Amino acid sequence: MGTMCNKLKGWLSLAITATFLLISSEVAAASSIINSYCKDVNYKCVVVKGGQTWQSMFPNPTQRDIVMRLNRMNTQPWGGMVIAVPKNLKNITALDVSPMPQFITPQGVKTIIVKPYLLAWGAYDPDGNLVHWGAMSGGKGWCSDIGKSCNTVQGKFMIYDKRGAGCKSSKFPVGRGGAPMPYCMFFHGGYALHASTSVPGHNASHGCVRIFLNDSQWLNQVFVNMPSSPFGGTVVIVEGYANGDKKGDY
C-alpha cells in the first residue's frame, strides 16, 4: 500500500510540475510580446502601481481600448506588471498598432485569421485588406480538468453557426456546462470565437478563441457571413503556436 501511495504521489507531483511548466511557458511567451514593444522607440513601457486599473490609468475609453488590445488583455493589471503604451497614443487608431499584416493574399470572401503565438486575430475583407483586429486567448497547453492539451485546432475552416449574447457552453465546466460564450461563432465542431471577460494576456481557454466583448459582437452582427450568404461564408484560419506554424496554403 505504501509503495502504491508513493507512486501516486510521484505521478501527482509530475502532473503538477508539467502543468506549472506549461502555464509558465505560455505566460513567458506573452511577456516576450510586451518586451518586444519595450524595445521599440514608438512605445514606452510602464510599471503598474498597486491599485491601478485600466480605467484609472486611461480614462479616455478609446485610448484605453488601444492599450488593452496592445497588451492582449481585458482582465485588470496588477501591481508591478509591465505594460506597453504607444508614445503618440492620443493621435493613433487601433489599426495603427496592429500586429496583424495590413494585407493578405485575397481569399475572395471575408476572412478571420487567428494567431495564437501573437495572441491576436485580424478580420480581412474579400480583397485581403485588414479592417479590424483584436486580442485573443486560445487553448492552453494543458487542461487539468480533462487531462489533456487544449490547444485550439489549427487549419482553415468556415463559420457554420453563430448565436447571440446568451450563447453558453454545453461542455464546460465539465459535467455541468453553462459557461458563458456571448456572441459565439462556431467554425469547427465545438470550437468557436466568442466574447469573454477573461482574455488574460496568454492562451488560457479549453480550445475556443476568447476575444473582447465589443469585438465579438461586431464580428457576429456586422462582419461574419454564413455559408448561405450570396457573398460566401466567412473563413477562419487558425495558425499554430509558433511563428510560421500553419497548415495548408493560405
pLDDT digits (tens, 9 = 90+) for 158-173: 999 999 999 999 999 9
C-alpha cell at 34: 510586451
Query: Rounded distance, CA 182 to CA 184, Å?
Result: 5
Query: Rounded distance, CA 202 to CA 137, Å?
Result: 6
Instruction: Parse the chain into domains and list their residue ranges.
Output: 98-238
- Whole-structure pTM value: 0.89
C-alpha cell at 95: 489599426
Query: Rounded distance, CA 156 to CA 236, Å?
Result: 6
Query: Rounded distance, CA 68 to CA 75, Å?
Result: 9
The residue behind cell 468556415 is: 158
SS3 206: coil
Per-residue model confidence (pLDDT) at position 17: 45
Among candidates 19, 21, 15, 27, which has minimal Cα distance to 137? 27
Does residue 200 have a cis bond before it (omega within 30 degrees)? no
CATH number of the domain located at residue range(s) 98-238 in this protein: 2.40.440.10
Pair type for strands 155-158 and 161-162: unpaired
Per-residue model confidence (pLDDT) at position 41: 97
Q: Please give the C-alpha separations between residue 111 and each of 128, 129, 162, 186, 234, in angstroms, as whole numbers.
A: 8, 10, 15, 14, 6
| pLDDT tens digits for range 105-150 | 999 999 999 999 999 999 999 999 999 999 999 999 999 999 999 9
**Distance in Å from the first CA to the final CA of the chain:** 56
Helix ranges (DSSP H) in 39-155: 54-57, 61-70
What stretch of H or E contains 120? strand 120-124
SS3 85: strand
pLDDT bucket at 62, cuts 50 / 70 / 90: very high
